[in-house]
Amino acid sequence: MVRLKELYKSKIVPELTKEFSYKNPMAVPQMKKVVISMGVGRATQDKKFLELAKKDLMMITGQMPLVCKAKKSVSNFKVREGVETGLKVTVRGVRMYEFMDRLVSLAIPRVRDFRGLNSDSFDGRGNYSMGLAEQSVFPEINPAKIEFQQGMNVTFVTTAKTDEEARKLLQLFGMPFKGLTAVNQE
């Protein structure tokens, strides 16, 4: 079984039940999915950038990314409607827990000058978004073979009703929020 899923069942559910006084174990917030997206603006000039980003995102998530097209034409960015400008992957289930484990234990500690995640990036409905400046923080990516640095956005979608519940859930999963004390994991 995946480490974080086991951690959720054994430690996180009882902790959240105790803190928020849930009467039913099914009311305890849980992770629904994680969406990883990349905006590849350079792809408007050269399709090679989109292919390289697609390969990197596939190595990071273990799934084939969905290519996103521009919805509107924007002349300032030299983007026409229908041009491929981004990628996204939605991971659920076992892959979601594996991705979260690699993100929390391997990728985030490798970020330069890291001082904690912003704890204000919740959307009011229990979902959290964060950004990474480069894909090379993931161990699957060989830094010597990177032709260009590409950032990505990561959104954690939870069943939590409030930001406070979602913050506590993610903190118990090991997310290092700025200004909050870290929760010890085994």
What are 89-120's pLDDT values in tens digits?
A: 999 999 999 999 988 888 888 888 888 888 88
Domain-embedded: residue 150: yes
For 135, the domain range is 3-14+29-172
pTM as predicted: 0.85
- Report whether pLDDT(174) > 50: yes
Domain-embedded: residue 67: yes
Token pair, residue 112, equals 């330069």
Domain-embedded: residue 19: no
Domain-embedded: residue 96: yes
Give me the amino acid identity at 52.
Answer: L
Res 1: pLDDT:
57
Res 180: pLDDT:
60
| Count of beta carbons in the 10 Å neighbourhood of residue 181 | 7
- Report whether pLDDT(186) > 60: no
Domain-embedded: residue 178: no
Query: What does the alpha-carbon distance between residue 162 and residue 23 come to, in Å, rounded to a whole number?
Result: 17
CATH value at residue 99: 3.30.1440.10
Domain-embedded: residue 185: no
> What total of structural domains would you count in the chain?
1
Contacts of 164 (CB under 8 A, 6+ apart): none
Domain-embedded: residue 182: no
